[in-house]
Amino acid sequence: MLESYFVRPQTVDRIRASWIGPEIERYVGWLTESGYTARTVLHRVPLLVCFGEFACARGAGELGELAAHVDAFVLERQRRTRRRDARFVKDVRGPVEQMLRLVVPGYVGPGRRRRPVPFADVLSGFFGYLASERGLRPASIGKYRHHLSRFEAYLEQIGVVRLSELSPPVLSAFMAERSGAGLSKTSVRDCCGVLRVLLRYAHREGAVGSDLSATVEWPQAYRLSSIPRSITWEEVGRVLTCVDRRTPVGRRDYAILLLLVIYGLRGREVATLTLDHIDWRSERLRVPERKAGHSTAFPLSRSVGEAIIDYLRHGRPETSDRHVFFRAVAPIEPIGAAAVSSRAGHYLLKAGIRVPRPGSHTLRHTCVQRLVDADFTLKTIGDFVGHRSAQATQIYGKVAVEPLREVALGDGEEVLG
């Protein structure tokens, strides 16, 4: 494997002569399989050889001892190069820790510091309850952790050490603090809902003497108070025109944008699509495990099918993974929901279209609004885009967006007449 990157035999010999040479070569094989470029390999291997020599000079003789020398190695490289910027530290530490995760059993590395599970010591079964009894998805459970971490930190700040000490004034003060933190009304309302669920569970488990959930009042956030952030079909054309379909990234993004705007898919639903969900013979596209708990089968649009085929043939990396869409840079792995939304937002801004929170939902809203303008029933529209209930679709029926735009652009005399 090393001979594929290093021409001089002396260089290969030096790498293999290192006491961690076999581990470096294994790491090179992993980099190759993961789609990293030759330039990356040529940059990282000499660094790892130096790390092995540095650790050996400090007394390391086994792989399990390497982790103890990472920080000192980074400081030594900083001292020698006189660089202190975060980018340099990342370029040194990253490859070393990545190799250690591959070759040292049980090594995790610092990575991102994970916050402890809130209230794990007194309500250890709460998050299991959310998943098993309430049937929440991991993303929803993550929101619970977010809000409850803030609540736990607040209680620690004011000196409340036991849930039995909770009272309506404490709960009210916490919600007042969250309301003053710049959150929207809907975010504050979500926090109130999370707190209510926790308090009911705590009462059920005997951690609090009475059910305090009713004392948590949330702000009024009217469901139909805003207009969905859709764009016109002409603007959709501008967005699609911005995509450079000559590149693998452009081919992938073009297919993603079409799925969002034609079928109104969520970013998560695009990210989880696999080759098994596309029936080329019957020209059907199946979207499983939607938010409403069911799957939907669509006729496969000709434009969408051609865009996906173009990506599969000329953009998708060679892999045994059945997901349709992949990252364009190493490590090669399926694209995530956040990346889908980010790419949609990128092209909206590139096309010069200004909407609140540009992303995948902008195109989803556009799909729904187009169906409303075509006089489809709200029940049909809700089934098409996978809404959990009819109420989720009602907001699109409260205004006729295009007629209102025509009124705003005209002189209004026809309306008055």
Q: Give the pLDDT of residue 102.
A: 93
Question: 179 and 48 in one domain?
Answer: no
Residue-wise pLDDT tens digits, 4-40: 999 899 999 999 999 999 999 999 999 998 889 999 9
CATH number at residue 278: 1.10.443.10
Q: Is 361 a catalytic residue?
A: yes
Torsion of CA 77, 81, 84, 85, to 10 degrees: -100
Question: 382 and 322 in one domain?
Answer: yes
* 224 within a domain of the structure (yes/no): no
Q: Give the pLDDT of residue 59.
A: 93
Question: 203 and 237 in one domain?
Answer: no
Q: Give the pLDDT of residue 183.
A: 77
Say yes or no to pLDDT of 254 above 90. yes
Residue-wise pLDDT tens digits, 120-170: 989 999 999 999 998 888 888 999 999 999 999 999 999 998 999 999 999
Residue range of the domain that includes 86: 2-103
Active-site residue among 252, 266, 268, 343?
Answer: 266
Active-site residue among 36, 263, 347, 396?
Answer: 396
CATH number at residue 167: 1.10.150.130
Q: Give the pLDDT of residue 403.
A: 59
Question: 189 and 240 in one domain?
Answer: no
Q: Give the pLDDT of residue 140.
A: 87
Specify the higher pLDDT residue, 150 or 387.
150
Active-site residue among 26, 290, 291, 346?
Answer: 291
Q: Give the pLDDT of residue 374.
A: 82
Q: Is 364 a catalytic residue?
A: yes
Q: Give the pLDDT of residue 414.
A: 56
Domain end residue (candidates: 103, 136, 164)? 103
% of the chain residues with pLDDT over 90: 63
Mean pLDDT computed over every residue of the chain:
87
Q: Is 266 a catalytic residue?
A: yes
* 118 within a domain of the structure (yes/no): no
Question: 192 and 149 in one domain?
Answer: yes
Residue-wise pLDDT tens digits, 299-353: 999 999 999 999 999 999 988 999 999 999 888 899 999 999 999 999 999 999 9
Question: 157 and 249 in one domain?
Answer: no
Question: 239 and 383 in one domain?
Answer: yes
Question: 197 and 97 in one domain?
Answer: no
Question: 398 and 316 in one domain?
Answer: yes
DSSP-assigned beta bridge partners for residue 278: 285
Active-site residue among 44, 77, 245, 361?
Answer: 361
Domain end residue (candidates: 103, 134, 161)? 103
Question: 312 and 164 in one domain?
Answer: no
Active-site residue among 245, 268, 364, 370?
Answer: 364
* 316 within a domain of the structure (yes/no): yes
Question: 206 and 268 in one domain?
Answer: no
Residue-wise pLDDT tens digits, 48-97: 999 999 999 999 999 999 999 999 999 999 999 888 888 899 999 999 99
Q: Give the pLDDT of residue 373.
A: 79
Say yes or no to pLDDT of 113 above 90. no
Q: Is 387 a catalytic residue?
A: yes
Give the pLDDT mean for 380-402: 65
Residue-wise pLDDT tens digits, 100-112: 999 998 888 776 5
Domain end residue (candidates: 40, 69, 103)? 103
Q: Which of 193, 117, 203 is closest to 164 using CA atoms? A: 203
Work out how many domains the chain is built from and give that number.
3
Q: Give the pLDDT of residue 397.
A: 57
Instruction: Round to whole Å and give the CA distance between 81 and 169.
Output: 57
Highest mean pLDDT, choosing among 122-126, 250-254, 261-265: 250-254
* 351 within a domain of the structure (yes/no): yes
Q: Give the pLDDT of residue 218.
A: 74
Say yes or no to pLDDT of 388 above 80. no
Question: 74 and 20 in one domain?
Answer: yes
Between 162-166, 260-264, 375-379, the lowest mean confidence (pLDDT) is in 375-379
